[in-house]
Amino acid sequence: MFSHITTTPFGRRPMTLGQISTQMTAKAAKPDAVVHKWQVFQDIRVARELLGATDRSLAILNALLTFHPETALTGDAELVVWPSNEQLMARANGMPATTLRRHIAVLVDCGLIVRRDSPNGKRFARKGRGGEIEQAYGFDLAPIVARADEIKDLAEAVHAEKKAFRVAKERLTLLRRDIVKMIDAGIEERVPGNWGRVQQTYQAIIGRLPRTAPRQLVEAICTDLQDLCTQIRDVLESFMKAQNPDGNESHFGRHIQNSNPDPLSESEHGFSESEEAAAIVAETDNVRSLPKRELPLGIVLDACPNLRDLAQGGEIRHWRDFLAAAELARPSLGISPSAWREAREVMGEQHAAITLAAMYQRAGQINNAGGYLRSLTDRAKEDKFSTWPMVMALLRARLDVQKAAGLEEGPAEDGSSDEKPRIQASASLLKSLQKPRS
């Protein structure tokens, strides 16, 4: 008696060495081996990349497992299933026939199933007089039983790798947070040190981190950050011991955490607006008469070209690039986070960044950048400060230097570039920019 299911034959395919190896593995399954088919399937899902399987092929494997009536798969049982193409496509969520054939081949290549082809290439089962299956042609699930332990080990390796990756990313987050806090604490507490260089070193390490990084790269960056973190901590602890030989580390920790957001050196000593202010700001008693339109980015960069050195790749094309460079200039000037935060709140992020760029351009002429910024912020609160005079003063100074060097204003006619950078704005444009809007 025959139990026959009509199917569309897949055609004859050449046998590969990998498929022969899979058949040998299936035959080597221990007769007493017993596995839970859905537990093995879960392990296969976890280790699918190591096995070379795809999501679509696993959908087909899931469908094939549903055609076997038993949940437990044993090594001495007949594990061949013979569904038709139509049945497989239906249980695989309506997968097209061409896709079905392609991903069945993937399962065979991965060594998860074995083809048991009939002489005519169709899939069916031959039953005996008692109704028991004597011979079946289709897909043999025996490799799943034979490789159950191997697949479980692969799944555990994948879980271990994911855990290690998660731990590495958590460590990276903690190190970044601690380093930023310690740099801010060093600036806030006026700990001696080149904090601008420290900030640049930190940014260089973080800059090696792409959007998606493998675990090995994350761990390597964590190692570099750990070294930097140790160096910063040593500097802070040495400063603490020098300032308070009889104190302890817990007292120093409380001191940093509860530090005055307006340190004495930046507020109570005040800041004279004579020499340093004259170096950047053109004094004006009537800020409201200045133009109301925003400063063009090109004019600001002509006035403050040094900020380009801090930009990624040395280029500033948009205001967001300008703001990012200003964030890097802040610690190099020794400006505390609280002073920078107040300046942005009062002036707005863009004008605060322009102010910082102007200060960075004349950093050698400013003794106390933090106090100076607080002074300008106080003036801005009373509507007595604008970034226009700062930028115009810097542009005029650069034009005077160019004139003294015998350079003409504007680019050369032949398009050639001189050794010194030229200012793209002419003197007439500067005058027009200073005129109030009608």
Residue 125 binned pLDDT confidence (cut-offs 50, 70, 90): confident
pLDDT > 70? residue 77: yes
Mean pLDDT of 26-51: 83
Report the run of H or E that residue 392 belongs to, with start and end.
Answer: helix 387-404
Q: Check whether 394 has a pLDDT greater than 90.
A: no
Mean pLDDT of 351-362: 92
pLDDT at 411 over 90: no
The residue-averaged pLDDT of 309-336 equals 86
Q: Are 72 and 37 in contact (CB under 8 A)?
A: yes
Q: Which of the four pLDDT bands, split at 50, 70 and 90, describes residue 175? A: very high
Highest mean pLDDT among 124-128, 205-209, 217-221: 217-221
Tens digits of residue pLDDT in 244-302: 655 444 444 444 443 333 333 333 333 344 344 444 444 444 455 555 567 888 889 98
Per-residue model confidence (pLDDT) at position 403: 75
Residue 108 backbone phi and psi in degrees, to 5: -65, -45
pLDDT at 430: 52
Q: Are 375 and 278 in contact (CB under 8 A)?
A: no
| Percent of the chain surpassing pLDDT 90 | 29
Going by the DSSP 8-state scheme, the letter that residue 294 receives in this structure is P
271 vs 124, residue with greater confidence: 124
Q: What is the pLDDT of residues 143-173, one digit of tens each?
A: 999 899 999 999 999 999 999 999 999 999 9
Q: pLDDT class for 410, splitting at 50, 70, 90?
A: very low
pLDDT of the residue at 275: 43
Instruction: Give me the mean pLDDT over the 385-414 stretch.
Output: 72
> Can you name the residues that pair with 115 across neighbouring β-strands?
139
DSSP 8-class letter at 365: G
Q: Are 407 and 420 in contact (CB under 8 A)?
A: yes
Average pLDDT value over all residues in the chain: 77
Residue at 433: amino acid letter: L
Averaged over 369-392, what is the pLDDT? Answer: 88
Interstrand relation of 114-116 and 80-81 (parallel, antiparallel or unpaired): unpaired
Q: Can you give the pLDDT at residue 358?
A: 92
What letter would DSSP give residue 211? S
Report the percentage of the chain scoring pLDDT > 70: 73
Quick one: pLDDT band at residue 21, thresholds 50, 70, 90? low
Span 220-231, mean pLDDT? 93
Q: Is the dihedral of CA 364, 369, 371, 376 positive or negative?
A: positive
Quote the CA–CA distance of 187 and 334 in Å, as a whole number.
6
Helix and strand element counts for the chain (H, E): 19, 7
Q: What is the pLDDT of residue 36?
A: 92
List Cα–Cα distances, 395 to 90, 267, 309, 361, in angstroms: 74, 30, 18, 11
The pLDDT, as a whole number, for residue 127 is 74
Q: What is the pLDDT of residue 429?
A: 53
> Using alpha carbons only, what angle is made at residue 220 by residues 218 and 226, rounded to the nearest 5 degrees?
100
Q: What is the pLDDT of residue 50?
A: 92
Q: Regarding predicted confidence, which is higher, 432 or 239?
A: 239
Question: According to the model, what pLDDT value does residue 244 have?
Answer: 64
- Judge whether 269 and 371 are in contact, CB under 8 Å: yes
In angstroms, the Cα distances linking 141 to 49, 127, 236, 269, 427 are: 20, 19, 64, 83, 84
Dihedral, CA of residue 239, residue 244, residue 248 and residue 252, to nearest 10: -60
**Residue closest to 354 by CA, chosen among 386, 393, 384, 383:** 386
Q: What pLDDT score was predicted for residue 176?
A: 92
pLDDT higher for 111 or 286? 111
- In this structure, are strands 34-36 and 2-3 parallel, antiparallel, or unpaired? unpaired
Radius of gyration of the chain (CA): 37
